[in-house]
Amino acid sequence: MPVLPDPDGRDRVLLSDDAVLDVDGLPLHVRVSPRRKRLGLTVERGGSLILRVPEGCDPERAETFVRDSRQWIERKLRLGAERRQLHPTRSLRDGEIHRYLGRDYPLLLVDEPDAAVRLVAGRFQLSSTVAGDPREARKAMAAWYCGAGQRWVRGRLQPWAARMDVGEPTVRVRDLGHRWGTYRANQGVAAESGQIALHWAVFQLPIHLVDYVIAHELAHMRVAGHGPAYWRLLSRALPEAREMKEELDELGRRVWMGDVDDR
């Protein structure tokens, strides 16, 4: 953590981006934003805690805020545990159903050495040799979703950025653990730039929910956190945003996140 001298000569420790702050046994991942004035908390889908702070925030202020928010945190963690873990485990065997943009496609194992997955004639094709190793098969499927998602979102991002009156950030599709998406501003660069990451599993969802995830992250280019100002902004561009969030919370529990049966 950075250290700054106080006027009285003592050193003052400040929170830094990506630091982990432990408060009474709760580990919180710190995100520092120069645009933020108040502290905020987010409970991620996997149960991790994100503490969002303005620049120049000291640990004592953050610890007090977290302790004052303890009941809220425990309530959110309980709710998250109730909603979690309907995510299916896949065996990646012949005939298994996988989704792309809300549509079902059966998996077809083919006698080819190539490890690349293909979507051909309404079927996902995967090498039977690769399918013999569940971890390699999972890696091949995830790579397909990353590539297909990256290509698909390339033509989808600009209209949503224009609709929300923000610049067009760079986008990467990758594994984000238990998060659908993230946005991070470029430090020291104009506010309209930044980076969005989307989980490859997002592209199993119906198109309107993929759009919701994209709009959700674009809104963070203007407002950090998920307070009233954030939802007002998102709802102006997407009036049904709250209903779509509820739909994502429910349907998202049944999305394959990459767990495989090692047989």
What is the pLDDT at residue 3? 41
Do the beta carbons of residue 141 and residue 127 sit within 8 Å?
Answer: no
pLDDT in single tens digits along all 263 residues of the chain: 554 445 454 556 788 888 899 999 899 999 998 888 899 998 886 678 999 999 889 899 999 999 999 999 988 888 777 665 567 889 899 999 999 999 999 999 999 877 789 999 999 999 999 988 989 999 999 999 999 999 999 889 989 998 888 888 999 999 998 889 999 887 655 555 789 999 999 999 999 999 999 999 999 988 888 888 999 999 998 999 999 999 998 888 889 999 888 65
What is the per-residue pLDDT across 81-94, written as a single tens digit (0 to 9) for each?
766 556 788 989 99
What is the pLDDT at residue 144? 97
What is the per-residue pLDDT across 241-258, written as a single tens digit (0 to 9) for each?
999 999 998 888 889 999
Do the beta carbons of residue 106 and residue 95 sit within 8 Å?
Answer: yes
> Which stretch of DSSP H or E encloses residue 245?
helix 241-251
β-bridge mates for residue 111, sequence order:
none
For each of the domains in the chain, give its residue range(s) and CATH number, in order of start: 3-80 (no CATH), 153-254 (3.30.2010.10)
What is the pLDDT at residue 82? 64
Do the beta carbons of residue 77 and residue 47 sit within 8 Å?
Answer: yes
Do the beta carbons of residue 194 and residue 183 sit within 8 Å?
Answer: yes
d(CA 248, CA 87): 13
What is the pLDDT at residue 189? 53
Q: 213-248 in b/e burial notation, b at 16+ Cβ within 10 A?
A: bbbbbbbbbbbbbbeeebeebbeeebeebeebbebb
Closest CA to 245 of 109, 35, 45: 45
E-strand stretches of the chain: 3-5, 11-13, 20-23, 26-33, 40-43, 49-54, 97-100, 103-110, 118-120, 123-127, 170-174, 181-185, 194-199
